[in-house]
Structure 1
Amino acid sequence: MQFPKILLEKISYYLLDRNETISIAESVTSGFVQLAFSQMPEASQFFFRGLTAYTLEEKVKLLDIDAEEAKAVNCVSQTVTEIMALNVAEKFGSDWSIATTGYATPVPESGHEIFAYYSISYRGEVVLSDKIELHPLTKALDAQNYFTECILSNLRCEVKKHPLPISV
């Protein structure tokens, strides 16, 4: 699996230049975001940790998602993704985080739709949270790849536009 090289290089450059770190919590992207980070130049300098949590039990145990709230939405909502992003950053002590959840195949639980929610946090605040929707005939691997590239493109924009905190 290859991701756009220039995109990976820019994210790497920005995070290295800022001396900032990132961690990832994935569900629908099945580790694709972590795979993309592993291909970035000098990734070990800024990519702290990542985890893939599919089930409600994993999200509750590993990411402190409220079980009742998650159960009500089958672990797939903008709110769940925002909590995942905030909690993975806190758990691993990173400046930035990305979280994903959704459906890469059309199933009854998704209303036979393919979509992903994702959230990006920076220093304890969600700075971007959105939904990506795809045609229901999209193949799962293509959906996961598209979700990942879209999320990485938005991360690049967010890192670039957020000023570094001023040290006193």
Structure 2
Amino acid sequence: MAESCTAGLLQNVLSQAEESMSFFQGGMTVYNIGQKAKQLNVNPIFAVQNNAVSKDIAEKMALEIAQKFNAELGVAITGYAQPVPEENICSCFAYIAFSKNSKVILSKRILGDPQKSLSANQSVYVEKIIKELLNKRI
């Protein structure tokens, strides 16, 4: 798991699942551009252009986290769980990506609600990721 806007919540939720040790290798919270570049080899020049929030960055994060943890599956999320008016971000959205065996198998944009709190949107994002994992039957 490579998380940004959910700040480790997905890892926390998965660690509480029954028999989590049989499928959960671990994860990393990379909350800013510098850490995404350093830990997950995200191109910092490209990341600065979009505040490290894009479909391509989520895909790169998913591929790199799987490699780092020697895992078959990589899951990543990057986005905004609350508006950031000073950066003209008025909506809440994130990009999620799954990789399996070094190939991206899912990449999409998900939405939060700008009227909800940061923690509420983080929970919404985690629920959406888990639903996608269950739908993919990974």
User: Shorter-chain TM-score: which interval?
Assistant: over 0.9
The answer to whether structure 1 residue 77 and structure 2 residue 54 are counterparts is yes
Instruction: Indicate the residue corresponding to 1:7 in structure 2.
Output: none
Instruction: Indicate the residue corresponding to 2:129 in structure 1.
Output: 151
Paired residue type of 1:97: G
Supply the distance in 1 between the matched residues of 2:75 and 2:9 (Cα, whole angstroms).
12
- Alpha-carbon offset, residue 132 of structure 1: 1.1
Superposed, 1:80-159 pairs within 5 Å as 80-108=57-85, 109=87, 111-159=89-137
Supply the distance in 2 between the matched residues of 1:96 and 1:144 (Cα, whole angstroms).
21
Instruction: Indicate the residue corresponding to 2:11 in structure 1.
Output: 34
Which string of whole-angstrom CA distances, capped at 9 and with x for unpartnered residues, describes residues 57-116 of structure 1? 100110000010111110111100000000100111101111001011111335211111
Supply the distance in 1 between the matched residues of 2:2 and 2:88 (Cα, whole angstroms).
20
Supply the distance in 2 between the matched residues of 1:45 and 1:99 (Cα, whole angstroms).
20
Supply the distance in 1 between the matched residues of 2:88 and 2:22 (Cα, whole angstroms).
37
Instruction: Indicate the residue corresponding to 1:44 in structure 2.
Output: 21
- Runs of 4+ aligned structure 1 residues displaced above 2 Å come to 108-111
- TM-score, length of structure 2 as denominator length: 0.94
Aligned 8 A contact 2:76 2:98 in 1: yes
- Alpha-carbon offset, residue 135 of structure 1: 2.7
What's the % identity of the aligned pairs? Answer: 36
Supply the distance in 2 between the matched residues of 1:83 and 1:114 (Cα, whole angstroms).
21
| 5+ residue gaps, structure 1 | 1-23, 161-168
- TM-score, length of structure 1 as denominator length: 0.78
Aligned 8 A contact 2:81 2:121 in 1: yes
Supply the distance in 2 between the matched residues of 1:157 and 1:95 (Cα, whole angstroms).
17
Which string of whole-angstrom CA distances, capped at 9 and with x for unpartnered residues, describes residues 5-34 of structure 1? xxxxxxxxxxxxxxxxxxx00001111110
Supply the distance in 2 between the matched residues of 1:110 and 1:29 (Cα, whole angstroms).
20
Which is greater in Rg? 1
Supply the distance in 1 between the matched residues of 2:54 and 2:122 (Cα, whole angstroms).
17
SS in structure 2 of the partner of residue 47 of structure 1? coil
